[in-house]
Amino acid sequence: MIKAGIIGATGYAGAELVRILMGHPSVEIKWYGSRSYIDKKYADVYRNMFEIVEDTCLDDNIEELAKQVDVIFTATPQGFLGSVLNEKILSETKVIDLSADYRIKDVATYEKWYKIEHKSPQFIEEAVYGLCEINREKVKNARLVANPGCYTTCSILTAYPLVKEGLIDANTLIVDAKSGTSGAGRGAKVNNLFCEVNENMKAYGVATHRHTPEIEEQLGYAAGKEITISFTPHLVPMNRGILATEYASLVKKADGSYPTKEEIRAAYEKYYKNEKFVRVLEDGVCPETKWVEGSNYVDVNFVVDERTGRVIMMGALDNLVKGAAGQAVQNMNLLFGLKESEGLELVPMFP
Amino acid sequence: MIKAGIIGATGYAGAELVRILMGHPSVEIKWYGSRSYIDKKYADVYRNMFEIVEDTCLDDNIEELAKQVDVIFTATPQGFLGSVLNEKILSETKVIDLSADYRIKDVATYEKWYKIEHKSPQFIEEAVYGLCEINREKVKNARLVANPGCYTTCSILTAYPLVKEGLIDANTLIVDAKSGTSGAGRGAKVNNLFCEVNENMKAYGVATHRHTPEIEEQLGYAAGKEITISFTPHLVPMNRGILATEYASLVKKADGSYPTKEEIRAAYEKYYKNEKFVRVLEDGVCPETKWVEGSNYVDVNFVVDERTGRVIMMGALDNLVKGAAGQAVQNMNLLFGLKESEGLELVPMFP
Amino acid sequence: MIKAGIIGATGYAGAELVRILMGHPSVEIKWYGSRSYIDKKYADVYRNMFEIVEDTCLDDNIEELAKQVDVIFTATPQGFLGSVLNEKILSETKVIDLSADYRIKDVATYEKWYKIEHKSPQFIEEAVYGLCEINREKVKNARLVANPGCYTTCSILTAYPLVKEGLIDANTLIVDAKSGTSGAGRGAKVNNLFCEVNENMKAYGVATHRHTPEIEEQLGYAAGKEITISFTPHLVPMNRGILATEYASLVKKADGSYPTKEEIRAAYEKYYKNEKFVRVLEDGVCPETKWVEGSNYVDVNFVVDERTGRVIMMGALDNLVKGAAGQAVQNMNLLFGLKESEGLELVPMFP
Amino acid sequence: MIKAGIIGATGYAGAELVRILMGHPSVEIKWYGSRSYIDKKYADVYRNMFEIVEDTCLDDNIEELAKQVDVIFTATPQGFLGSVLNEKILSETKVIDLSADYRIKDVATYEKWYKIEHKSPQFIEEAVYGLCEINREKVKNARLVANPGCYTTCSILTAYPLVKEGLIDANTLIVDAKSGTSGAGRGAKVNNLFCEVNENMKAYGVATHRHTPEIEEQLGYAAGKEITISFTPHLVPMNRGILATEYASLVKKADGSYPTKEEIRAAYEKYYKNEKFVRVLEDGVCPETKWVEGSNYVDVNFVVDERTGRVIMMGALDNLVKGAAGQAVQNMNLLFGLKESEGLELVPMFP
C-alpha cells in the first residue's frame, strides 16, 4: 500500500482527495493535515466521513510528514509549499502540489500575478506540470508534480488539439469560464454565503485572474510561441462543475477556406481517442457539467461557425475531481506505476 | 458474474441502478428496458453514461428477459409488475421490485391507497419486504423482493428501535418528511419544472400519501399491533435527499418517569450497532441530507424533549440510493450470498 | 412625511425594510444605522440600491436618532435594544423592535431561552406584541412595538383560529417549520456558505429554539391557558420563505364526533375573512412559499385527517416581509393612523 | 385608465406583465388571454395572484379584443401575431408584441433564423423596435411596437455606446450570455425539469440562436454598417436573470494607442447618464444578476484589458422585467404619453 499524507485535508479539494482515496485500492491515508482543525476528529469536520474516517487532524509539519509517507498532497493556499519545500523532503517522498506554486516556469510571472514572493524558486524547473493527457511521460519520473488549476485544466484540454494542430489562431482565444462555488473554497466570507450566490451570477477577476498565465504558458507550448488570451471566470449557483466556452478564429487553409467540421473533429480524435478521461461528444451535443459530476471526465465538443470564421469550443469537468483531486490521484498513479485510472473509475452521478 | 436486467432503466431510480451496478464487481447488466426509449442508445438518454454504457434500450418483455438473466429489477410505475408477473418468471429468475406492487400484505389496503386493481395478488404472500436491516434473513431465500419506498425506508428506520422496544406510543407517531425532487421522477410535468420548484417549498399528498400504509404495516409489526400514524411529504428544491423529522410521545416507565436519553440511545445501538448502513450520529448532531448524498447510508439521531414528553427523531438518506437503487442492490447481494455491502461502499459526496 | 430611522440597516431584515420603505409613499428614511459599515455608502453594501439610496451608513446612537425621527426600527441582535432603551427615547419617538427583546412578557422565560440578562425589563409590560391581525387595536396606541419573529408569525397565524375556537387541543400542537437561509442572517459563517446549504436539508435547534416560548405565550392567550408545544425549525436551500406544517389533535364534540372540514374552515373564515394579508386557500390547495415571495401575505390551509383524529395545518410566508420588515411596516402604519396596507401592496413575484 | 389586454397571459412573461400592471396606477387589465387555460380562473394558474386577480382566462381572439382595449400585449409564441395581425386591429388599438415577429426588418432573415413563414410582412416596416433607450422618440408615435428579446436587450445595451462611438470593432464582438431558466418558458419539457437544470450548466443554440440577427441588426445601425457577431446563450440554474459578458477588440486611435478606461467610461456616460433604467456601475464593480432581480434596471460595466487590446463588457438584467414585461410597460408608457418609469419603479429584491 502506498502511504499518503495530505496537507490541507479540510479544504474542499482536500476533502475530495479523501473521498477518492477512500475508494483507491492501493493507497492508505496516514496524515490528515489541517492547520485550522488540529486535534479535531476529521469526521467532525466532514460528517460524511462519520464511521469511514476515524483519524484526527494533524498539523502541517511537512518535514515530519515526509519521513512517514510515500507521497504528500498539498492542497494548501498559494505560497505554502513554496515557503517550506526543500531538497530533503523531495529526497524522501513524492510531492503533488494542488496549489499554483510550481505551475508557472517564469518566477517573475508567478510573482506578478500572485503578488507573492516565491521562496524556493530553485525547484520550479524540475517540477512537472501534471496535466496527464499532455505530460504523461514526464510525470512518471517526477519528484514534484504541479497539479494544474481547475479552470486551466478545463480551458487547456478544450482547446489543445486545435492549438497544437494550428487550426486556430491562439492569440484570438477567448475563454469564458463558469464555475460552481466550491471553487471559492470553504472560507467564511459574505460573498460566498448561500443567499449571496443563490439566484445570482457574476463575472469576477476580469482580465486579472491568476489562471490566465497558466493557460497561456501551456497553450503557448502547444502553439510553439508565446500567446496572449482573454480569460474571464464567473461564479454560478451550483456546488460543482466548470464549463468553459472558448472562442477562436479559424486559420484559413492555403486555398482560403476554413477548416471543416470534419477536420476539426479529426484533430480532437487524434489527441483524445485513447484518452479515457476526455470524452469528445457526438456532433451537436453540448457538454453539461452535470454529466461529469463526481467523475474524472472532461467532456468536450465544438461548433464551427462559418458566418464568423470562428470555432466555439466547449469543455465541462468537475472542478473538485478532474479540476483538482482526481487529477492529483491520476498523477499519483503515474508516479507509482499504477494503472492510470486506478481508483478513478467514478461513474458521474445524475441527477 | 450475475446477469441482471432492468425494466424501467431510464427513470431516475433505474439510472441510479445502472450507476451503482457499473461499479459492482460481480454483476453485469444485460438488459436496459425502457418503454419510452426502445432502440435508443442508453447513453443518449443519460449522457453521463457516454463511453461507459454502449447498450441500446430494449423493451419491457419480462418473460423473454427472465430467460436470460439471474435477476430482474423492475423500476416501473405501480401496477406494471402486478400485471405481468407469473410463476414461470419466478421459477426462472429472481425479481426485485422497486415499485409498490408487493410491499403491502393486505390487497384491499393496496387497492384503496393506490387506486389500482392488483392483478396478481397470489404472489403477495411470498414476497419479502426488502428492508434489509429488519428482514435480512427472509430476503436471503426469497424469489420476489418488494424493495421499500424511499420515504418509508427513511421513516421506518428512524423510528424502528423505539417502536420495537416500546419506548414510544406508536399511535402518536407523526412523520414530517422532506424530499428532493428526483423522487418525483423524470416525467415532463409543469409542477416539476425548475422555475416551479426552485426557491419554493410545499407539502403535498397530505393525509393521503401512499407510503403511509407501508409505514404503518411495518412499524405495526414492530409494535406488535395495528397502528395509525400521520405522514406528510414535502417537496424541497434539491435533487436528492430525504429528511424525516418524526415526533412521538414517550411511554412513561413504571415509576412515572420518561425514558432517559441514555435509554433511547441504547435502543438505537441495540439495533444498529452492527449495521454498516445505519449511522447513529453522536449526541447533538442533526442528520443532514448532504452528508449521505450518493451513498447507501441512513443517518439517524434523536432529541428527548422532557418539556413535552416527546422524542424528536430524525433520519436522512439519499432517496435514489438507500431509498431505491442502493437498497435494491443490497437486497440482490443478500439473494445471491454476496457480501451485503458489495458494490455499495460509496463514500458520500460533499459538497 | 414620517421620518424613519433604522438601526441594523445592513442585515437582511434591515435591507428589506429599506426596500419596502423606498416604495412607501408616506415615509422617508433619515438614518441608515450599521455598526459594521459606518461611513460606508449604503449602496456599496447593497448594490441593488445603487442610484436609489445615496446615503451613507451611520452609527447606532439611538439617543441621537430619537431626536431626529418619528419612528425607529431596530433590526438588531437580541439584547441591543434592551441594553439601550430608556424613557427619554420613548417620549421622543415610536420604537418598533424587530428583535426579541420585548416579545416575551415573562422576563425569566426570556432570559432562560435567550441566555441574556434583560437590561431594561421595566418596558416589557407596556410593549405591544405586534402581530397586527390579533393585536391591531393595542398596536395603534403603543410607544413600543415588539415585532414578532418570522417563525412565530407563521406558526401562530396558521393555528390561531383553531386554538381560539377550541377545535384543537393546543397541548398536542407540533410545529414543523422550514425556512429559507436568509433567516440565518448575513454573518460570515461556514454553515451558511452556499456549498454547505445547497443540495442539503437539516433540522436545527431541536426542542431548544427561541421562538418556542413566543409561540406558546401567544397561542396560550388564545387558548386561555398555558400551553406547551413542540417546535422544530429546518434549514432549506432557498433564499426566502417559511413553511410551517402543524399537527394537532382535534377536540371531539359532545356527540363524540370530530369537527368537520366545514367547521374548521368556518373558524378560519371567522378570523381571516377580512384580513387582507392572510389568505385562506381553497380546499385542497397546499400553501407554497413561492406564491407569497416578496409580499406581505400569509397563505394558510388545512387538511382534516379522520383516520388519526388530527388536523394538519399549513402556513407559508416570506420571512423577510410578513416575517420581519413587512410586518414592521404594517405596525408602523397602525401606529401613525395610515391605511394598514399602505406601501405593502406588493404582488408576490413568480417565478 | 388605460385598458389593456394580454394574449399569452399564462406564460412566464405574460404573468410578469400581470404582476407589473397590477402595480401600475394608470392601467387596468381587461383580458387575460390564454389558449391553454380558457375558462380557468387566472389565480388557479398562478396562485400568487389569489385574491388579487379575480378574472378568468379568455381566448386569444385578437379581433374581438382589439375592440375592447387601448393596448394589446402579445406574449405569444413566434408566428402568432404574424398570422393574425391586420390593419383593422392596428386602427383600433396599440399592439406591443413580446414575440419576435416584428423585430427584424428583413423578412428573409426572419424566416431563415426562425424557420417560419411570415404571414403579414406588410407591417414589418412600420413596426418600431422598442428598445426605449435607443428608439424612444419613434416608439411614442408607433401603432405596433416590437418589444426586444431578453438576450438582445442585455447584449445591445451593454455594447451600444462603444459601437456607436466607434471605440470597438463591432465585427470582433463576442457575446457570451447566461440566462436563468424562466427564459425557457413554462412548457413541460424534460430538459427544463428541476433535476435536469439544478447543479448543471450548459451552452445551447451555439451559433444558431435566433437572437443573433436581432443583435446584429440593431448594433449594425449603431455601427453604420452590417456586422457579424458571435452569440452563445447558456442555461443557468436560477429562475431569473441574464448576464452578458461581451468581448471586442478596441480600435486603436490615430496615435496607435488604445482608448483609455476614461474614454470608454465617457462613452457610457454619454448615452446612459440620464437613463433611469441603465446603471453604469462604479469602476471595478462587476454586474450581478441578483442586484437587478425583479426590477427594470440593466447594470453595465467594463474592463479594459491592454494586454490583449480588448475590452470586456458586462451587462445584467432581469429577463422577465427589462428583458420582457418591464420593457413592454416602458414602451406602453411612451405610447400613451405617461411618465416613462410609471409603474416601473420596482426596487430590486435582495436576497
Domains of chain B, residue spans: 2-126, 151-318
Question: Phi and psi of D275, rounded to 5°?
Answer: -90, 115
Cα angle C18, C24, C29 (rounded to 5 degrees) comes to 45
Exposure string (b/e) for A74-104, b if CB count within 10 Å is 16 or more? bbbbbbbbbebbeeebbebbbbbbbbbbbbb
Q: Do A349 and B349 touch (CB under 8 A)?
A: yes
Helix or strand run (H / E) with residue D312? strand D310-317
* Chain C residue with minimum CA distance to A190: C188
Residues of C in contact with B216 (CB under 8 A): none
CA separation for the pair C266, C167 (Å, rounded): 11
The answer to whether residue A249 neighbours chain D at the CB level (below 8 Å) is no
CA separation for the pair B131, B143 (Å, rounded): 15
* Chain B residue with minimum CA distance to A290: B48
Average pLDDT over residues C114-130: 97
> Which pLDDT does position C38 carry in this prediction?
97
Tell me the β-bridge partners of D316. D243, D299
> Which pLDDT does position A46 carry in this prediction?
98
CA separation for the pair D343, D22 (Å, rounded): 9
DSSP assignment of C310-348:
EEEEEEEE-TTIIIIIHHHHHHHHHHTT--TTTT--PPP
The answer to whether residue C310 neighbours chain B at the CB level (below 8 Å) is yes
> Which pLDDT does position B105 carry in this prediction?
97
Residue C347 near residue C291, CB atoms below 8 Å: no
The answer to whether residue D229 neighbours chain A at the CB level (below 8 Å) is yes
CA separation for the pair C121, C141 (Å, rounded): 20
* Chain D residue with minimum CA distance to A178: D201
Residue A322 near residue A297, CB atoms below 8 Å: yes
Query: How near does any CA of chain A get to the CA of D226, in Å?
Result: 13
**Sign, Cα dihedral of C189, C103, C29, C320:** positive
Q: For chain C, state the CA radius of gyration.
A: 20
Return the closest-CA partner of residue C322 out of C289, C280, C350.
C289
Chains contacting chain B through 3 or more C-beta pairs under 8 A: A, C, D
Max Cα distance, chain D (Å): 68
> Which pLDDT does position B283 carry in this prediction?
98
ipTM: 0.97
Query: How near does any CA of chain C get to the CA of A302, in Å?
Result: 30
Q: Do C182 and A195 touch (CB under 8 A)?
A: yes
Beta-carbon count within 10 A of B175 CB: 29
Return the closest-CA partner of residue D114 out of D125, D99, D129, D127.
D99
pLDDT category at D137 given cuts 50, 70, 90 is very high
* Chain D residue with minimum CA distance to C319: D351
Could you say which of C238, C243, C286 has the minimum Cβ distance to residue B199? Answer: C238
Residues in chain A predicted with pLDDT less than 50, given as ranges, are none
Amino acid at C110: Y
pLDDT tens readout for residues D329-338: 999 999 999 9
Active-site residues of D: which are they?
Answer: 150
Strand ranges (E), D170-274: 174-179, 202-203, 230-235, 242-249
Residue B173 near residue B219, CB atoms below 8 Å: yes
Instruction: Report chain B's terminal Cα–Cα distance, integer Å.
Output: 34
Average pLDDT over residues B61-85: 97
Residue A134 near residue A224, CB atoms below 8 Å: no
Given the residues A57, A132, A150, A154, the one annotated as active site: A150
> Which pLDDT does position D238 carry in this prediction?
98
Cell numbers given for C51? 442610484
Question: Between the CA of residue A265 and those of A270, B41, C94, what are the distances in Å?
Answer: 9, 22, 72
**B129 dihedral zone (left: phi>0; alpha: psi -120 to 50; beta):** beta
Identify whether B351 is preceded by a cis peptide bond (ω within 30 of 0).
yes
Question: Between the CA of residue A99 and those of A14, A75, A295, B143, what are the distances in Å?
Answer: 11, 6, 21, 54
Could you say which of C174, C290, C304 has the minimum Cβ distance to residue B247? Answer: C174
CA separation for the pair C260, C265 (Å, rounded): 9
* Chain B residue with minimum CA distance to A195: B199
CA separation for the pair D12, C298 (Å, rounded): 23
Substitution target in A158, A168, A176, A310 with the highest count of D β-carbons within 10 Å is A176
Could you give the residue ranges of the DSSP H alpha helices within chain A?
Answer: 12-22, 42-45, 62-68, 80-84, 87-92, 107-114, 132-140, 150-164, 194-197, 211-223, 261-272, 326-335
Q: Do B289 and C201 touch (CB under 8 A)?
A: yes
HEC sequence for B159-201: HHHHHHCCCECHHHCEEEEEECHHHHCCCCCHHHEHHHHCCCC
pLDDT tens readout for residues C35-53: 999 999 999 999 999 999 9
Query: How near does any CA of chain A get to the CA of C116, in Å?
Result: 26
Could you say which of A15, A199, A351 has the minimum Cβ distance to residue B12? Answer: A351
CA separation for the pair D226, B233 (Å, rounded): 58
Residue D57 near residue D9, CB atoms below 8 Å: yes
Residues of D in contact with C294 (CB under 8 A): 294, 349
The answer to whether residue B40 neighbours chain D at the CB level (below 8 Å) is no
CA separation for the pair A270, A272 (Å, rounded): 6
The answer to whether residue D285 neighbours chain A at the CB level (below 8 Å) is no
Substitution target in B10, B191, B192, B194 with the highest count of D β-carbons within 10 Å is B194
Residues of A in contact with B279 (CB under 8 A): 50-51
pLDDT category at D129 given cuts 50, 70, 90 is very high
Could you say which of B196, B245, B293 has the minimum Cβ distance to residue C199? Answer: B293
**B244 dihedral zone (left: phi>0; alpha: psi -120 to 50; beta):** beta
**Sign, Cα dihedral of D188, D193, D196, D198:** positive
Query: How near does any CA of chain A get to the CA of C304, in Å?
Result: 36
pLDDT tens readout for residues B295-304: 999 999 999 9
Average pLDDT over residues B199-220: 98
CA separation for the pair C344, A230 (Å, rounded): 47
The answer to whether residue B238 neighbours chain C at the CB level (below 8 Å) is yes
The answer to whether residue B249 neighbours chain C at the CB level (below 8 Å) is no
| CATH architecture under which domain D151-319 falls | 2-Layer Sandwich (3.30)
Q: Do B23 and A347 touch (CB under 8 A)?
A: yes
Given the residues B57, B150, B154, B195, the one annotated as active site: B150
| CATH architecture under which domain A151-318 falls | 2-Layer Sandwich (3.30)
Cell numbers given for D217? 441588426
Tell me the residues of chain C between 163 and 222 that have a Cβ less than 8 Å away from chain A.
181-182, 186, 188-190, 192-199
Q: Do C200 and B174 touch (CB under 8 A)?
A: no
Query: How near does any CA of chain A get to the CA of D312, in Å?
Result: 8
Average pLDDT over residues D10-35: 98
Residue B225 near residue B154, CB atoms below 8 Å: no
Residues of B in contact with D351 (CB under 8 A): none
Could you say which of A50, A285, A348 has the minimum Cβ distance to residue B281? Answer: A50
Could you say which of A188, A198, A237 has the minimum Cβ distance to residue C190? Answer: A188
Residue D151 near residue D180, CB atoms below 8 Å: no
Query: How near does any CA of chain C get to the CA of A183, in Å?
Result: 10
Q: Do B47 and A22 touch (CB under 8 A)?
A: no
Could you say which of C22, C51, C350 has the minimum Cβ distance to residue D15? Answer: C350
Residues of C in contact with A16 (CB under 8 A): none
> Which pLDDT does position A122 carry in this prediction?
98
CA separation for the pair A171, A168 (Å, rounded): 9
**Catalytic residue check, A132:** no
Q: Three-class SS of residue C180?
A: coil
Question: Between the CA of residue D171 and those of A309, B249, B293, D104, D237, what are the distances in Å?
Answer: 11, 73, 47, 19, 31
Report whether CATH 2.60.40.1180 matches the domain D2-126: no
Could you say which of A196, A199, A239 has the minimum Cβ distance to residue C195? Answer: A239
pLDDT tens readout for residues C124-182: 999 999 999 999 999 999 999 999 999 999 999 999 999 999 999 999 999 999 999 99
Could you say which of D190, D196, D239 has the minimum Cβ distance to residue B195? Answer: D239
Q: Three-class SS of residue B226?
A: coil
Q: Three-class SS of residue C29?
A: strand
CA separation for the pair A351, B184 (Å, rounded): 12
Chains contacting chain D through 3 or more C-beta pairs under 8 A: A, B, C
Residues of A in contact with B347 (CB under 8 A): 19, 22-23, 48-49, 52
Same fold yes or no, B2-126 and B151-318: no
Cell numbers given for C79? 439584547
Residue B94 near residue B143, CB atoms below 8 Å: yes
> Which pLDDT does position C271 carry in this prediction?
98
Exposure string (b/e) for A142-166, b if CB count within 10 Å is 16 or more? bbbbbbbbbbbbbbbbbbbbbbbbe
* Chain B residue with minimum CA distance to C233: B245
| Cβ contacts of D16 within 8 Å, gap of 6 or more | D320, D321, D324, D325, D326
Burial (Cβ within 10 Å: 0-12, 13-18, ≥19) of residue D224? exposed
Query: How near does any CA of chain C get to the CA of A192, in Å?
Result: 6
CA separation for the pair A224, D184 (Å, rounded): 43
Chains contacting chain A through 3 or more C-beta pairs under 8 A: B, C, D
**Sign, Cα dihedral of C194, C195, C196, C198:** positive
CA separation for the pair B180, B96 (Å, rounded): 24
* Chain D residue with minimum CA distance to A227: D308
CA separation for the pair D208, D229 (Å, rounded): 12
Residue listed under C-alpha cell 414620517 = C2
Q: State how beta strands A2-7 and A27-33 pair.
A: parallel
Question: Between the CA of residue B56 and those of A285, B46, B68, B71, what are the distances in Å?
Answer: 18, 12, 16, 19
Residues of C in contact with A13 (CB under 8 A): none
The answer to whether residue B129 neighbours chain D at the CB level (below 8 Å) is no
CA separation for the pair D241, D293 (Å, rounded): 7
Beta-carbon count within 10 A of B35 CB: 15
